Amino acid sequence: TDADECSSGNGGCSQNCTNTVGSYECSCGDGYELYIENGQGGYSIASGETGDVAGDVLHLNHSCIREFVLVNSLHMCL
Ligand SMILES: [Ca+2]
């Protein structure tokens, strides 16, 4: 039988946790994206941390970071 990892501490997810058979997945709400690799969005894993451990500031596949949005705003002086 499957364990519901989300039932305990939200599976370690910083936002949404979805239980799946044999595993679980974290996801993020609007304006955020899941942190899946070091350096993503300009966010680096803190020194002394691996990003693989619950409790790390940025936990890979668990933490959500602000989505990087390209703002296309041109200011033209006429
Ligand atoms: Ca599960």
What does the pLDDT average to over 20-30?
Answer: 97
75 Cα: distance to centroid of ligand 1 (angstroms): 50
Higher-pLDDT residue of 34, 77: 34
Q: Can you give the length of the chain in residues?
A: 78
Domains and CATH numbers, the chain: 5-66 (2.10.25)
pLDDT of residue 78: 63
2 Cα: distance to centroid of ligand 1 (angstroms): 5
4 Cα: distance to centroid of ligand 1 (angstroms): 4
What does the pLDDT average to over 29-56?
Answer: 95
What does the pLDDT average to over 59-63?
Answer: 98
pLDDT of residue 75: 65
CA-CA-CA-CA torsion for 68, 47, 51, 17, nearest 10 degrees? -60
What does the pLDDT average to over 53-58?
Answer: 94
pLDDT-based confidence at residue 67 (cuts at 50, 70, 90): confident
Spatial neighbors of 56 by CB under 8 A, at least 6 apart, are: 45, 46, 49, 50
66 Cα: distance to centroid of ligand 1 (angstroms): 27
